[in-house]
Amino acid sequence: MGIVRTRLAISVILVSTLLLSNAEAKTVDPYKVLGVSRDAKQREIQKAFHKLSLKYHPDKNKNKGAQEKFAEINNAYEILSDEEKRKNYDLYGDEKGQPGFDPGFHGGNGGYSYSSNGGQSGGFNFGGPGGWQNMGGGGGSKSFSFSFGGGGPSASSFGFGMDDIFSMFSGGSSKGRDQFGGFGGFGGSSKAESGSKSGTVATIRTINPQVYKKEIVDQGMTWLVLSYLPSQRGTQYHDSIIEEVAESLQGALKVGRINCETESSLCKQLGIIPRRAPRLFVYSYTSSGKATLAEYTEELVAKKVKSFCQEHLPRFSKRIDLDTFDVSALSSQKTPKVMLLSTKKDTPVIWRVLSGLYNGRFVFYNTEVHDTFDPKIRELGVDAFPAILGWFSNGEKQVLKTGITVKNLKSAVQEIGKLLEGFEKKNKKVASNSQSGQAQSQPLEKIHLLSRTNFDSICGEKTPVCIIGAFRSSHGKEKLQSILSKVSQKSLSRRQASATGSQDTVSYSLLDAAKQSSFLSSLDKSEMKTSDKLLIAYKPRRGKFATFKGDMTMEEVEKFVAAVLNGDIQFTKTRQKPQLK
């Protein structure tokens, strides 16, 4: 019996030696490498990785061993940032799910096994009917297994308990169980064993020509794009940076990566030339609506990359000043208008994002406000900030929402986006009803010729904008009469003012330039010396005017009127107050 015990002791020592040598050959504990606890959240892991990567990056740290340390850090992050790999490591000590110490039972006797890659395979079975045996085998892997048979959870057929077995591997106390588990790689808290699911890491989209065409081009969303080659170093660090930036700008930004080796044609199309290291770009839109690809070339720090991305968010919303802006001029185009009133000095990020996503579907405005008791604010029907107003294509105003509260950027973009889409649907109904009403309306009323008697009612100070068609010939008069009659009925141009004194926001009229030359001279002496037809936009309240001498077609005149009402035309001060003979 003493010989058997001696043999057993020797065998167990041999197996323990194999366990220790194989455990040492395994990946260094990624938690220790990054200096985080086993129940660390993804945010903590990211921060630790960023800090160490900056410290040991080969481009910055030229000390001996820095490159190896950097590779070790990247390997650790690759395991802990992947939910499946982290779970496998927590359970088995191997991110691929190959057990270093598998707490499983074999048959009715119970047992434990150890395996490692490479070499021959063999095994030992302790206990049971046949005592211990070599399980043998050949092939490309080593496999050692040993089982403890017996009558209880901690007893073996050799008459010593499980604590004695563990003491051979760990040196004694009951803590040896945890230490042994540590060698095998499965030791740690129950949270680690169940897999860490805390924290949310943004998904990096793999970009190919199909994804680029369907999800990026002309979609209005800003993208942070990483271009790389598989052979380049530091790709994982770049990934972690853009993940962190995307997480902080969820709803405003998407992230993707292009492999310029497999997608060389796409990289060439975008003008991306691979270099020694991965490159970061922001795909965004300029105020003209053109997409651009701007490269980030500063220090690779999440905070700075985030600022760079924010700078390149869309800027389609026009900043206005309510004190000088004619709010009634917002109903000037077929496209519905929306305005954000907030206390921010600059256009809020949320509004910039929405202006990109809904560019072309709405005309965006925003303004800085502070006092809800301001007469202009009260006139708009706003009682709390931030607030969003909308104007249908027929000029009708609607308060969409006031006192807006949001949880985060992503939810804000989604909630306000739904609000805009609902307003867009209402506008289509309003436009449809308006067109139906116009189709059933009576023939267009003639545009009135300006005279001393009707001037105040048509172009007096109570009318914000007066559109005047000046002519020198009967042909010019007929041409302007026809165009202005049609344009005045357009929803973007609002209604024609009648000679009876109805106070609409825009009036349309004709002027005989040959008989009323003094009227034109009061605006500008150089005007109408040779032109047969001239269009004048006159603002009586402000004593300013603008002229149009281009091709007198309905489309061009309509564009001019829309631009005037939209505030996109430069006005000039009149020489004196115009009067008619």
Nearest alpha carbon to residue 280 among 231, 328, 238: 238
Give the Cα separation of 212 and 77 in Å (integer). 29
Residue 437 banded pLDDT, cuts 50, 70, 90:
low
- Tens of pLDDT, residue by residue over 498-518, are 444 444 578 999 998 888 888
Contact 420, 364 (CB under 8 A): no
Q: What torsion do the CA atoms of 305, 307, 309, 312 make, to the nearest 10 degrees? A: -140
Predicted local distance difference test score (pLDDT) of residue 65? 84
pLDDT value at 521 more than 90: no
Predicted local distance difference test score (pLDDT) of residue 342? 95
Left if phi > 0, otherwise alpha if psi is -120 to 50, otherwise beta: which for 128? left
Residue 525 banded pLDDT, cuts 50, 70, 90:
low
DSSP state of 21: H
- Tens of pLDDT, residue by residue over 300-357, are 999 999 999 999 999 999 999 988 877 666 655 678 999 999 999 999 999 999 999 9
pLDDT value at 11 more than 80: no
Give the Cα separation of 536 and 230 in Å (integer). 64
Give the Cα separation of 444 and 454 in Å (integer). 20
Mean pLDDT on 350-375: 93
Identify which has the larger pLDDT, 212 or 124.
Answer: 212
Put simply, whether the predicted model's pTM sits higher than 0.85 gets the answer no
Chain CA centroid to CA 370, Å: 29
- Tens of pLDDT, residue by residue over 227-259, are 999 998 888 889 999 999 999 999 999 999 999
Predicted local distance difference test score (pLDDT) of residue 302? 92
Poorest-pLDDT segment among 48-62, 156-170, 197-211:
156-170
pLDDT value at 23 more than 50: no
Nearest alpha carbon to residue 76 among 89, 65, 62, 67: 89
Poorest-pLDDT segment among 51-65, 209-223, 300-314, 342-356:
51-65
Predicted local distance difference test score (pLDDT) of residue 332? 57
Mean pLDDT on 570-581: 86
Q: The dihedral of CA 547, 551, 554, 559: what is its sign?
A: negative
pLDDT value at 99 more than 60: no
Nearest alpha carbon to residue 404 among 395, 413, 392: 413
Predicted local distance difference test score (pLDDT) of residue 84? 85
Domains annotated on the chain, with CATH? 2-193 (1.10.287.110), 205-311 (3.40.30.10), 318-438 (3.40.30.10), 448-573 (3.40.30.10)
Half-sphere exposure of 111 (CA within 13 A, CB side): 17
Contact 118, 98 (CB under 8 A): no
**Coil, helix or strand for 118?**
strand
